[in-house]
Amino acid sequence: MLLAGGAALGAAGTAGVVVAGDGGEAARTAAPAAGPQARQVLKSSAFRLQPLTGYGPPRAAPRKLKVRSEPILQISGRGRRMMLTYDDGPNPAYTPHILDTLAKYGVRAMFFVCGECVVDNKELLARMADEGHVVGNHTWTHPLLTSLARGEIRSEMERTSDVIEDAYGERPQWFRAPYGAWNRAAFQLGAEMGMEPMAWTVDTTDWETPGTGVIVDRVESGAAPGVVVLSHDAGGDRSQSVHAIREYLPYLLDSGYQLTVPPRRTT
Ligand SMILES: [Zn+2]
């Protein structure tokens, strides 16, 4: 059932795919100590695109993102790539255990964090940076964006990007709407702030605390090339999520999956 849902979601949006390229390779091969900054490689073409005449400074404005009408649902690229994402944290009771398991297997993941959780746990974002994980913006207070005015959405997103920059070392390039409830303002503001909208393919529904075995089964039966898995490292008792990754992560690796993160866009 989850597989069918994931497949249907994927089929629904051919645009909803992000290519996992160099970042994926880096995720697999680079030492855990190498932070995202270490993966920042400027393409030579970026220099060739600079105007050859004029006396102004080099163009430094961030590349403008296309405003999407639906979020990215899955990743593409060669091979059996999947991506693990964790929402609503960081939380000192659960996030360190998930980071420990990821480190044990040399795997990187995405963490969509809430600003109000970051303020008291900045050291966890510093650890994510050190260990090469990608941090995304999941708003400040986790509101239903579709019930907010545009200015309130902007504030939720902007404050969170600010605290992420402070704790993680760079501004996020990815945004995920709480509850998967997107609207046009969220897509527009995200693009304006340099963030692509990222959803998911397989929901572990770990927030329902269905039991560790159920979470493990949802990930393993939903596993397929391109799948983005949604789990949570905060927002309630997440000990089942902590235990589940200890089981499904080695299973996915043994099954030949490469757990990846999106490549960093250069601006
Ligand atoms: Zn959430």
User: Does the pLDDT value for residue 109 go beyond 90?
Assistant: yes
- How many angstroms separate the alpha carbon of residue 38 from the centre of ligand 1? 29
Ordered by start, the domain boundaries in the chain are: 82-267
pTM metric for this prediction: 0.80
- How many angstroms separate the alpha carbon of residue 228 from the centre of ligand 1? 15
User: Does the pLDDT value for residue 257 go beyond 90?
Assistant: yes
According to DSSP, the residues that pair with 85 across neighbouring strands are 110, 230
Q: Which CATH topology does 82-267 take? A: TIM Barrel (3.20.20)
Mean pLDDT of all residues in 27-47:
39
User: Does the pLDDT value for residue 243 go beyond 60?
Assistant: yes
CA angle centred on 140, ends 264 and 5, rounded to 5°: 65
- How many angstroms separate the alpha carbon of residue 179 from the centre of ligand 1? 6
Which residues are marked as active site?
Answer: 87, 232
> In angstroms, rounded to a whole number, what is the distance separating the alpha carbons of residues 227 and 237?
25
- How many angstroms separate the alpha carbon of residue 51 from the centre of ligand 1? 43
pLDDT digits (tens, 9 = 90+) for 16-30: 677 664 444 333 333
- How many angstroms separate the alpha carbon of residue 112 from the centre of ligand 1? 8
Higher-pLDDT residue of 9 and 143 is: 143
- How many angstroms separate the alpha carbon of residue 75 from the centre of ligand 1? 20
pLDDT digits (tens, 9 = 90+) for 185-207: 999 999 999 999 999 999 999 99
Average pLDDT, rounded, for the chain: 84
Residues with CB under 5 A from ligand 1 (ion): 87-88, 178
- How many angstroms separate the alpha carbon of residue 178 from the centre of ligand 1? 4
> In angstroms, rounded to a whole number, what is the distance separating the alpha carbons of residues 239 and 24?
28
pLDDT band at 63 (very low <50, low <70, confident <90, very high): low
